[in-house]
Structure 1
Amino acid sequence: MPVESPDNSILQKDIERIADNLRQFPEIRNKAILITGATGLLGSLIVKSLICLNRCYSYNVSIFALVRSEEKAKTIFGALLDHANLHIVVGDVLHIPDIQEPIDYIFHGASATSSKYFVEYPVETIETAINGTRNVLELARAKNVSGMVYMSSLEVYGALHSDEPVPEDHGGYIDPLSIRSSYSESKRMAENLCCAFSAQYGVPVKIARLTQTFGAGVSYDDNRVFAQFARSVIEKTNIVLHTDGSTVRNYCYTSDAVRALFYILLRGENRTAYNVANKDTGISIREMAALVASLGSDTEVEFHLEANEKHGYNPTVKICLDTSRLHDLGWSAAVGLEEMFHNLIHSMKIDAELAK
């Protein structure tokens, strides 16, 4: 049986690390898990890690991967599509195809992810978050699942400027008249919808509030800031900031985030939110640019200030998530910020070479 990422040693190491960690959850042995957004960064890593768990430790997990594009699934999963326990379900959360088989657990990760998309297609952003999540919750209810995780975002806290780590019970502030709020407001509503289904129908759903997450597996043409910085090092060009870089947040490595999702699914409490971040990675965008520039001898930082809403830039915030609740479940982050960028850059270099 093929390994999960034969051409990318960094990503394969992450997958094997996750699979080894998942051995502590025997309750998923012989179970069926549905992943929405399965070709996304975290969704695809969940799928590959479960395949590795089956290959290395005979867990016999049935994996149902909901994907919008069969072609993209072929690109991302390659020979893994022949894995007997992997079932590709082509559709989207607004029109979920009929799944006849039992489903025991659900990771709901399908979502709009691009800031530019949020401001150009705010109606579709809201529709996917709310109507799509309702459809997944209805499926969870019909299948009488044992657990579900809704993958939310630190953006539910809005434009905070906090010197203290932000716990899950912090309300935050979001401007409902900002078009960019289509994402953050709909994430909030989707969280409340999860709680409503749990309270009214008994759906055992938990909420993961993810900070920005990156690592091996990020595509070379990803336009998020961490990928832009990494490309600058690879291509030996300067890092260009279009804001003053004063936003501060903490981050999380992809394999740490996936492990956290399983802790929340299998150890978390229903109708409860859990912040997912590495508490030791708090840094401003400006400082992060300098850190990444230091990893490339030909890279410096430039400022071309032009921030405005049409670009989809986040408002300036200072927010580091308090992860005490997640740590109480037994989880801890394993990868620090500098290693995150080393792995990201190395992984993107590999993918760029493969694309030639």
Structure 2
Amino acid sequence: MHYSLRKKILVTGGAGFIGSHLCRDLLKEGHEVLCVDNFFTGSRDNLRDLVQHPLFEIVRHDITQPLHVETDEIYNLACPASPVHYQFDPVQTTKVCVNGAINMLGLAKRTGARILQASTSEVYGDPEVRPQREDYWGRVNPVGPRACYDEAKRCAETLFFDYRRQHGLPIKVARIFNTYGPRMQPNDGRVISNFVVQALQGQPLTIYGSGEQTRSFCYVDDMVKGLKRLMQTGEDFTGPINLGNPQEISMLELARQIIRKAGSSARIVHREAPEDDPKQRQPDICMATEKLGWSATVSLEEGLEKTISWFREWRGVGYV
């Protein structure tokens, strides 16, 4: 890349699952990348091969505190993204989403940087419409155990659009649906990593509720491409925009597929469903197709094979 085209790009939550993939892609494009993470759920292991890269820097920092750096673009991905982690300290989760957004928006305002917010499909709550379009306002319990994440992400979106209206800030808001792939943490509480680890260890796959609830899963490479394309759109387009794979699957069928692809003899067990667990989740990606020319290209079948293969080779757990 020509030096004049190189950007200084800040990725908060850059040591996390999606963030670490994004950092790699941005470095491959020749940009300078500053990864900021407090390592609550992110891991240095995700970035082990990048630490000697001349254009890469890691800073341990919690974005609930102000950050003083120079940057051209900000990808704000910092926040625990699975219930097991965001419910561990719900007050801190809300602070990361709200105070963190304020701090990153303030940084963008000072530096003139374009800023992208990694929002979530959880802003739709337990939806009454299917698939979910961006103009659906959602059905969220504001006082339930998931509200620290759901409502905090909704508030972050509010802050982004108010900074846009009040200060003319160039913002982008992506509503990320379930994402999976290599470098997921085995204990992160996400359903695919849970199922894969359980299957490879020969442990029962745990399904909460009947297993008829559905989700849509996007492979991480597709998600990173979508985030970058959103960042590259003109300043008149802000989102919010859904990024996800509309291929829907029940939890029961997902468990069966993973058992089969892992060559496991694990059985399936049912546990009581958690409070406010959405019954279905499926993105309408018409806007992403129209505005970004983007859609998920990796099928669930292909993505699961790649993910299972990565976990099978991972040496941190004694897989069978």
Give the secondary structure class of the aligned counterpart of 1:221: coil
Number of aligned pairs?
316
Any idea what SS the aligned residue of 2:261 has? coil
Change (3 A) 1:69 1:315: closer
Correspondence for 1:118 among 86, 99, 104: 86
| Aligned residue in 1 for 2:117 | 150
Aligned to 2:99: 131
SS state at 1:167 partner: coil
Whole-angstrom distance in 1 between the partners of 2:137 and 2:126: 11
Residue 177 of structure 2 contacts residue 216 of structure 2 at CA under 8 Å; is this kept in 1? yes
Change in 2 beyond 3 A, CA 1:29/1:349: farther
| 8 Å Cα contact 1:161-1:317 kept in structure 2 | no
User: In the alignment, is residue 315 of structure 1 matched against residue 277 of structure 2?
Assistant: yes
Q: Which amino acid aligns with 1:108?
A: N
Residues 257 and 277, structure 1, Cα contact 8 Å, conserved in 2: yes
Find the residue that maps to 2:119 and give its secondary structure. Answer: strand
| Contact 1:156–1:188, Cα closer than 8 Å, also in 2 | yes
Offset of 1:66 from its aligned partner? 0.8
Aligned to 2:55: 85
Q: What is the aligned partner in structure 1 of residue 7 from structure 2?
A: 31
In structure 2, the residue corresponding to 1:319 is in which secondary structure?
Answer: coil
Please report how far the alpha carbon of residue 289 of structure 1 lies from its aligned counterpart in structure 2 after TM superposition: 1.1
Counterpart residue type for residue 142 of structure 1: R
Runs of 4+ in structure 1 deviating by more than 4 angstroms, as ranges, are 353-356
Match of 1:67 in 2: 37
More helix by share: 1
**Identical residues among aligned pairs (%):** 27
Amino acid at match of 2:64: L
Q: Distance in 1 between matches of 2:173 and 2:262?
A: 38
For 1:235 and 1:303, how far apart are their aligned partners in 2?
15
How do 1:297-312 and structure 2 match up within 5 A? 297-309=263-275
The answer as to whether partners of 2:204 and 2:269 remain within 8 angstroms in 1 is no
Q: Give distance in 1, aligned partners of 2:102 and 2:316.
A: 41
Among 125, 141, 160, the residue aligned to 1:175: 141
User: Match for residue 326 of structure 1?
Assistant: 288
Offset at residue 27 of structure 1 (A): 11
Q: Does 1:265 align with 2:227?
A: no
1:262-301 → structure 2 map (5 Å cutoff): 262-267=228-233, 269-279=236-246, 281-301=247-267
What is the aligned partner in structure 1 of residue 208 from structure 2? Answer: 242
Which residue does 2:303 correspond to in 1?
340
SS at match of 1:82: coil
Deviation by residue 1:195-246 (Cα, 9 ceiling, x = unmatched): 0001111111111100110011212333311111111232233322232112
User: Unaligned regions of 5+ residues in structure 1, if any?
Assistant: 1-22, 55-60
Q: Match for residue 64 of structure 2?
A: 94
**Unaligned regions of 5+ residues in structure 2, if any?**
none
Which amino acid in 2 is paired with 1:139?
A: L
* Residues 125, 221 of structure 1: alpha-carbon distance in 2 compared, 3 angstrom cutoff: closer
Once structures 1 and 2 are overlaid, which stretch shifts more, 318-327 or 252-261? 318-327
Change (3 A) 1:353 1:212: same
Shift of 1:171: 1.0
| Alpha-carbon distance, 1:47 to partner | 0.9
- Using the alignment, how far apart are the partners of 1:334 and 1:41 within structure 2? 19
| Range 213-222 or range 195-204, more displaced | 213-222
